[in-house]
Chains A and B, each alone.
Chain A
Amino acid sequence: MNAESRERLPGLRLGLVSGACLVLLTLVGIVEAFSQREIVSGVLSMGEGLLFFTGLFIAYLAADRGLRRAGTGRALAAGLVCGLAAAALLALLVLLSKAVNLRQVLINASPAVFQMLVFQREELEVGLALLLAAGLLTGAAAAGLRLLPPVPRRAVTAGLVCVAGLGMLQDTVYPVLSSWGPVAGLADLVFEGLGLSPGGAVALFVLTAAGAAFWALQGAAVRGRIAGLSPGGRRGLRIGAFALLALVLAILPQALGLFLSEVLTIVGLYVLLGLGLNIVVGFAGLLDLGYVAFFAIGSYTVAILTSPELGFFSLSFWQALPFAVLFGVIAGVLLGIPVLKMRGDYLAIATLGFGEIIRILVLSDSLRPWLGGAQGIGKIPKAEIVGFEFGGPQEIYYLILAGCLLVGFISWRLRDSRLGRAWMAVREDEDVAQAMGINLVAAKLLAFATGAGFSALSGAIFATKIGSVYPHSFNVMISINILCVIIVGGIGSMPGVIVGAFALVGLPELLREFAEYRLLVYGAALVAMMLLRPEGLWPEATRRRELHEHEEQAGPTPDAPAAAAAGRP
């Protein structure tokens, strides 16, 4: 705290952080990879957008700190300094690139990207001046945004997010919209080339901002009116909303087309896996890093029982499914027994090992006649119900949706049950949970078994979706990805799992350029989350309380001095 208040230039520290981020983004090649795409055609490419929004965001944070510490003037100064410092670091990078050949070490440091940084100017001085000016403008914009009253600030933010989001996702959104007769013309107006048309961007910004402003001003009134409805009316509204949601979910694959349906199925599988792991990690607090093992067990059970390639059995998918879940549950208990006494880090390491054991077993040559070895098992039949085959992604979607609904319903009921309460107590304090009369062994094993069962279920669906299973599909990264999904979504929160899966699995699928930088993005997302929103995107109530209690309970309490005295006997 003291170090920061001694800082002479407000925002300098964050500005250097911002600059370092921008330099990193440039040097790893993301900026160049993304400059193929456009957010607003001819105005802002995605690479430029990435730099701009990163700088804007960090300058916003700087302005926010300045405002809290010393008011408006300092906020503005902090924003400007932060923006300028970031741009200055980029400018230094450009100068460095002219002096030495960075490419010998950093292969992504291409002349094209540096040309982009100086706004394609031939004269270096002019380009660098423009770059610094852009930094200052970004900083000023961030500070201005921070100094706006809450309602317009929210409106502008919503507008920016909407424009950036739709622009980035042009190649997924545009084909879908243009295939819907009535809105096809509209889509042509809004989109142009590889991004939004300038006019479309402005229109979108204004519309979203107006919508957000309306909701900020009138949302409370609308909510109040809903709360004021008669119980019957409220129930009617809820049924209506559910019916609408059900309808949307039902027609989604037809409306979105093949590619997006495929993305949806992948996201859906992660939701399924995430809901399962959420029981183990989120509800019961048992950090399981070998979760992929149960996914593999589900997949391999279905493969072995159904594939004609091995020729042991030729069950249908539906006959094999119960076995897959059963074996998953059994494996969950078998893993659970030896790790019952382990906590925290030790548990994580032990489960990590279990995940690897399963992968190495299915990879093993000596088990090849039964498990297929490195070549895996193919020719897994599709699932079928009375002649309807779950063949392509548009059909598999329904299978996964059904799985998600089932698993979501079960976890929801479990969370509020006696068992859910037992899990909560175990998560908070194992010893005391026991002293409250909770059977620790049963609670832990049930958590492992339930989570494993859900994981095996999604493994089974995965096997029939892909049609073949290979050992390399079940590496430790899957476990880590699922864990990231629930951390980013909010540990213990079920809507959080869905949000997390869309953010961490869905978005990278849509932005194919991300694929290469996936781990970088995960890492950055996790660090940013931990710093800015440690409770996750859609947190569970208890966790939000824990991390923000000082804000909620800021009011003076009658015996605050007594509490302070008790804390320091």
Chain B
Amino acid sequence: MPLRVTGLSHNTAAPVEVRERLSFTTPRALDDALAVLRAALAPRGGECVLLSTCNRTELYVAAPEDPDREEMAALLLAARGIAPSEMGDWLPFLEDQAGCRAVEHLFRVTAGLESMVLGENDIVRQVKEAFAKAANAGTCGPTLNPLFHEALRVAKRARTEMNLSHGAFSIGHAAAQLAENIHGSLAGRTVLLLGAGAMSETTARHLAAAGANQVLVANRTYDRAVALAESLNGRAIHYDDFVKYLAVADIVIASTAAPHTVVHRPMVEAAMRERSRRRPLFLIDIAVPRDVDADVGEVGEVFLFNIDDLGAIVEEEAAERRRRAVKAEALIREEALAWSARMRAALVAAPLVRSVRAKHHAIVQEGLARLRAELPHLAEADWARIEAFATAIENRIAHDPTIKIKEYAERAAAAASAMPGGGAADDLEAKMRTAREIFGLEEGWESGQSAATTAATATPRRGE
């Protein structure tokens, strides 16, 4: 069945206020939407998957009668409960792709090439969840099931072979990676937060995810420190005491709102004298204006990184990912073409395979009917064995031609995809014609044959 996708994302013309109106943020909203879509598509034999993330809402539809752009938009708006009268307002924001381009788009989305943060991993989970939801709702079928499995496989290949998901994606991520480069495993390491702002919380969460499980929070407003410490499973300390804790901390995240520096070289030197010299101290200064004097970084075994240093790492990683993404795009295009070729091949080969199998089946049934007429004395148990034997032979005979027809079709479709207009389609057509001739599948054989078979099988069985 032909594939089509419609939707909007941060890459389309849709601003955030438009995107948020069309998002399905709660599981309930998604379930309701899938119910609406199933009611609309199931009678037509259609399938769908609805992908909704914070920056993207997309509807993938495979239906025997390829829906056009307006129909797709109408389906998506209906799923969100938006009146059809608003269609005109939405159409300029919706992007629509069909066929091989839709396949390539799904592969790109799953590999993270369409994500706001190039190569991020979360999209894989979101695609998996969307697919699982659709499967549970019964809106996935023989076209979208294999397609989404293929999308996940291709995404994994692109990420693995092109290292798409490596490197730091954010300041917090970069800080966590640097901490691991300094301390090795972060398990059992102590993190001291100076200031309880959003940035320090995010960074601390990255460090906690990497294993740092002892968190101390110091903030001018003690209540805020307590609240943040509780959310991080840590301990609040009084801001004025933070200097004492420098000696026990392995990582310090400074992000106070102070207009001047609060961590000075003598403080850090004193802290380093109190601790083992083999224990380095990683200072992350993400405050603007800075919280840590620049000369603190000159103290032995103290590693000081400010927000610009971390930002430079993130940018460098992003540039590296962009370079790798170019290669990943080529790989994904190749995979999308191959998938589309296989689908086209299946479309061409399937009717012929069905005809070959139907003819074999008709011949066998006709023979069995004749035999029943000639051997009316045989018991039903004997007939069951004869029929099983005949079916086995029928399947055996049909096996090789079936495989060959599929192979011809796949090869020709792949050649046609690689070199459109190169004569591969004509070649496939000729081969399919030859196959029809060899198997005696000239036009109209089915009707004559089925009539004969019906007559033959209508012969009453013994005892009937």
Query: Do the two shown chains form a genuine complex with each other?
Result: no
B residues contacting A by CB (< 8 A) are: none
A residues contacting B by CB (< 8 A) are: none
